[in-house]
A = this chain, B = another copy of it.
Amino acid sequence: MREQHVYGAAEKAVWKHAMGPDRWQIPAVIEELKAKAKSEGLWNLWMAPYLDPKSEHSPGLTVQEYAPLAEIMGAVPWASEIFNCSAPDTGNMEVLIKYGNEDQKKRFLKPLVDGSIRSCFAMTEKKVASSDATNIQSSIVLHGEDYLIDGLKWWTSGAMDPRCGLCIFMGKTDPSAERHVQQSMILVPMPSAGLTIVRPLTVFGYDDAPHGHAEVEFKGVRVPAGNLLVGEGKGFEIAQGRLGPGRIHHCMRLIGVAERALSLMCARAHERVAFGKPLSTQGTVRADIAKARLLIDQCRLLCLQAAREIDSGGVKAARHNIALIKVAAPQMASWVVDRALQVHGAAGFCDDYPLAFLYAQSRALSMADGPDEVCA
């Protein structure tokens, strides 16, 4: 399917759309491919038995079985969405399955599982180091039968997607409580009065339209009290439970990124001639290729080891190895893509190749879900 539907025409079309004036609209090909994937049962592939034990929403692949598929999808930035496997929707569905009540599931999980809406996750704050959750400044205050939500969030990926119907918001319900029970999470329908997209953010100059990363202001946003997840003070716990699976999915995709970069690097090295010989005859290029092969394969094995641990013992049992790959995979992918860039010469930096974009994406994932220093 990758060769047929994604690489080539579709990828070029989506890229062109993403660089054009309608970039914040969804290109038609995306929805066409989604429909096709869904009709073939290639849907919610990520939803492993620990989440969906009766295979109600998914084919019921284990995490280990999902890994090679996520890798293939990862090679093209938007391919995961086609199969309803993209962040932050997957993490948000996981949260709703684990922590949502029946009403919450009906209103928000069902459309996410169907792919009829998309979602975002508002955790990171602009003014503080929010990887330390105790720094969070946003507030969720009970006011009669509603909660009032205030705060300035950013890096809220997907908030500008016109299909975005849900924001899971993290804020403090009780700043005076013990450190890890000050925070709560609440479901905010989108659009909502008082919720304003301030601007799209760029990553090394890319705005990743139409998905995008938004700065979002919440000013007296009012939602029914029933939208709170689990109960006041459960925000930190929910956040922790959300992180692990999200991180391993990122790693699987990054392995796909690195494989694609390596494959481009090898092709270029064979075809490009300088000083009378293909680049592939140069010792430094060969050494880079060998090292890339080594780093990718080692990283994949560690990722699969973590997947095995989730499958057999649950996310907590894999905590240790997820932390290791969370740090290792972005560094590995950044290095491999950087070496692929070098072999491509100036061409690699522009958008005739996906490399500069993939570098930006890989490097940023050293930060997403917490910087290396926090995770290691």
Contacts and interface: CB of A to CB of B under 8 A. Distances in A.
A350 B294 contact: no
Contacts of A327: 290, 294
5 contacts: A202-B349, A204-B349, A204-B357, A283-B284, A298-B298
Nearest to A126: B347
A325 to B, nearest CB: 8
A284 B372 CA distance: 11
Nearest to A344: B367
Contacts of A154: 346
Contacts of A291: 376
Mostly, the A contact residues are: helix
A82 B207 CA distance: 30
Contacts of A7: none
A373 B279 CA distance: 10
B350 A371 contact: no
A131 B359 contact: no
Given A129-B345, A364-B349, A205 B357 contact: yes
Interface of A: 124, 126, 128-129, 131-132, 135, 154-155, 201-207, 213, 272-275, 279, 282-287, 290-291, 293-294, 297-299, 301-302, 305, 321, 324, 327-328, 338, 341-342, 345-347, 349-351, 356-357, 359-360, 363-364, 366-368, 371-374, 376
Chain B CB within 10 A, most for which of A124, A286, A297, A364: A297
Nearest to A356: B204
A373 to B, nearest CB: 6
Contacts of A372: 342
A307 to B, nearest CB: 12
A376 B287 contact: yes
Contacts of A376: 286-287, 290-291
The 10 closest A-B pairs by CB, nearest first: A283-B283, A205-B205, A205-B206, A301-B301, A298-B298, A129-B274, A290-B376, A201-B350, A204-B204, A283-B284
Contacts of A302: 294, 297-298, 301
Contacts of A345: 129, 131, 367, 371
B346 A367 contact: yes
Contact of A299 (B287, B290, B298): B298
A341 to B, nearest CB: 8
A302 B272 CA distance: 32
A132 B349 contact: no
Contact of A274 (B132, B204, B342): B132
A297 B298 CA distance: 9
Contact of A356 (B129, B202, B297): B202
A129 B348 CA distance: 13
Contacts of A213: 350
A328 B294 contact: yes
Given A283-B283, A283-B286, A290-B324, 14 more contacts: A201-B350, A202-B205, A202-B351, A203-B350, A204-B206, A205-B357, A282-B373, A284-B373, A286-B376, A294-B324, A298-B302, A298-B328, A301-B305, A341-B363
